[in-house]
Amino acid sequence: MTEHAPSPPPLRRTLTLGRIEPGSDEERALREIWEAPPGWRGWLSTVDHKSIGLRYLVTAFAFLIAGGIEALCMRVQLARPDAHVLTPEQYNQLFTMHGVTMIFLYALPVLSGFSNYLWPLILGARDMAFPRLNALSYWIFLFAGLFLYASFPFGEAPNAGWFNYAPLAGLTYNTGPNIDVYALGMVLLGISTTVGSMNFVVTFLRMRAPGMSVDRVPVLVWGTLTASGGNLLAVPSVSLAFFLLWLDRRIGTHFFDVMNGGRALLWQHLFWIFAHPWVYAVVLPAMGIVSDALPVFCRRPLVGYLPVALSTVATMTVGFVVWIHHMFATGIPALALSFFGAASMVIAIPSAVATFAWIATIWTGRPIFRVPFLYFAGFVFLFVIGGLSGVLTAAVPLDWQLTDTYFVVAHLHYVLLGINVFPVIGGIYFWFPKFTGRMMSERIGRVGFWILFVGFNVAFFPMHIAGLLGMPRRIYTYAPDMGWNTVNMITSIGAFVFALGVLIFLVDFVYSVRRGPAAGDNPWDAPTLEWSTSSPPPPYNFAVSPRIASRHPLWEERLSGRMRSQLTVGYVLNRGREALGTSALDGDPDVILKMPEDSYAPFWLGVASLVFFTGLALTAWWLAGVGLLGCAAAIVVWLWPRRELGQRDDSPDDDAPRRNNAPDPRAGATS
């Protein structure tokens, strides 16, 4: 059958519509072009987004386990009054590292893992826009995490809380290397977040499949794009704050030193301008996971795609004007309190739009109660509780009463843990067949879900009551006559039940990687492009660039016999590592992109960055100099031009051989 398609705008060379059959010589050549070298060489040099995404997921879960162990130690200390399991200093260090780990080393990186793996597959691309930059973001994330934990074994871990308020974090009260490690580690982690966010934005703008206009983009893409845009604006603020703090501590400046003309409140402004949008950065991609995966189990498209996409952007936009929500008790003028209190309540509206869309999708669909659906439905329940408690703290008089109590701790865990962990685990159950080609256990998954769900609510809902009873945050013990004994014991029991649920999930995951039943390409009968590839996907993702005309191409192909050919017959790009660039709004093909080869440069640049920041932390200027020279050398290797073998990319393609089963060029799209 002859394929007809509108002619694309002029490209650097001729495009040919065709098909590459699985197992053909052309397919094997394409696999060889994109496949990483075997062994340790490939492990260190690969820039494949799928490998990087899985590494993000595994590393983030390793930090989740570390943060969970720290939390369990604190809950043992708080289970009974006047306990002496931990000293106050040990508790402060565990408290700080738990917050740093869960918020910065788990919550966003685990979502970056999903997006790194899924974005090119969902968008119909062969890789991210900047593959080497993608690899660099992972290596710096890994090294930043190790850097932040480096002082922990020596009893010198950060101890001023994950919010690190000045002047407590100043040299007067903390003379050791702990705060320096935290400050520089966060600057290093900010580099990873920034380059990763840039990559997501450019990938969205230039790497979508032909025909994927902005109104056909899955909601997961909108969630990650919005979070990435927010990170690009917010991360410089906190990086500046930590760098200024390090200057105060090691160079002798006085940015936060009140006795010498500095302002301690400046720290809170710089920190919360970042930290409140960060809350949405770790929530919006998780909401996108639910918005795309939940309808699969309801056997219908998401209700209100456009309002959900707009609410995603609106949530982050409003999130940038509510940072003083965290500073109501600091003496802010009344007019500012009114403005920021109102903005804090308004932000509940776009969140409610998404909530009603999920409920309507379930209500009007035909739900199939598989394990991923249970996690997504549980997420909706937790999302409502976390959102309602957030609205309460947006009221200034209530916030004055609840500030620095365990009510805020409960709200924080419902928002950052419940709204993140449940979509993440549900997403892993959902996309595990695509990751590995195998299915996870339905029976073990159901048991794990109910233990996790019950344990979470038993652990964190009583914290609301403890806060209303006046229990302050950040205390390591309490007297037996305060009336907090029962709620703390229940919370501690719930924490261990929740940990058991996580352990069951991890056991199921590890077992299923090797022994899970074969899944097939699309075991859930899902509608998006990633399910049109094999499981796991080949190194090149798509042999030809798929062309779509629908928001749900795999569902709507049943209504049109032509749709399947649009997914299997497309632009053939097999002269080295090539990808198709498309226009920002309509997804029209307009350029052939030459993608970089695998390289060790991102790894060594990450190592050199770690050496540089280690030198700064130790005030060993010679070591910092070595790291700086290493960074320069790695960048030179990264950017060093390479001679292309064979035909130049911009040469005419008139004499190129026809692709297998290619239609007549006169009927296809050539230019």
Secondary structure string (H, E, C) spanning 395-412: CHHHHHHHCCEHHHHHHH
Judged by phi (left if over 0) then psi (alpha if -120 to 50, else beta), residue 576 lies in left
Q: What is the pLDDT of residue 73?
A: 96
pLDDT band at 643 (very low <50, low <70, confident <90, very high): low
Q: What span, in angstroms and rounded, lies between the C-alpha atoms of 40 and 38?
A: 7
Q: What is the pLDDT of residue 430?
A: 97
Coil, strand, or helix at residue 593?
strand
pLDDT band at 564 (very low <50, low <70, confident <90, very high): low
Q: What is the pLDDT of residue 561?
A: 53
Residue 438 has pLDDT above 60, yes or no: yes
Beta strands across the sheet bearing 570-572: 17-18, 570-572, 544-545
Residue 27 has pLDDT above 50, yes or no: yes
* Torsion angle (degrees, nearest 10) of CA 161, 167, 171, 175: -40
pLDDT digits (tens, 9 = 90+) for 357-378: 999 999 999 999 999 999 999 9
Q: Nearest-CA neighbor of 202 among 183, 169, 238, 228?
A: 228
DSSP3 helix / strand / coil % (the chain, rounded to 5): 65, 5, 30
Average pLDDT on 186-203 reads 96
β-strand pairing of 570-572 with 544-545: antiparallel
Residue 134 has pLDDT above 50, yes or no: yes
**Residues facing residue 571 across a β-bridge:** 17, 545
Q: What is the pLDDT of residue 599?
A: 93
Mean pLDDT lowest for which of 142-146, 213-217, 571-575? 571-575
Q: What span, in angstroms and rounded, lies between the C-alpha atoms of 388 and 382?
A: 10
This prediction's pTM? 0.92
State the Cα angle at 17 between 12 and 19, rounded to 5°: 130
Q: What is the pLDDT of residue 362?
A: 96
Residue 124 has pLDDT above 50, yes or no: yes
pLDDT band at 663 (very low <50, low <70, confident <90, very high): very low
Residue with the two structure tokens 């005309």: 549
Q: What span, in angstroms and rounded, lies between the C-alpha atoms of 322 and 307?
A: 22
Average pLDDT on 533-540 reads 92
Q: What is the pLDDT of residue 606?
A: 97
pLDDT digits (tens, 9 = 90+) for 565-624: 667 667 888 888 989 999 999 988 888 889 999 999 999 999 999 999 999 999 999 999
**Residues facing residue 472 across a β-bridge:** 405
Q: What span, in angstroms and rounded, lies between the C-alpha atoms of 235 and 186?
A: 10
Q: What is the pLDDT of residue 566?
A: 66
Q: What is the pLDDT of residue 650?
A: 42
Residue 84 has pLDDT above 60, yes or no: yes
pLDDT band at 543 (very low <50, low <70, confident <90, very high): confident
Q: Give percent of the chain above pLDDT 90.
A: 70
Tell me which of 629 and 31 has the higher pLDDT: 629
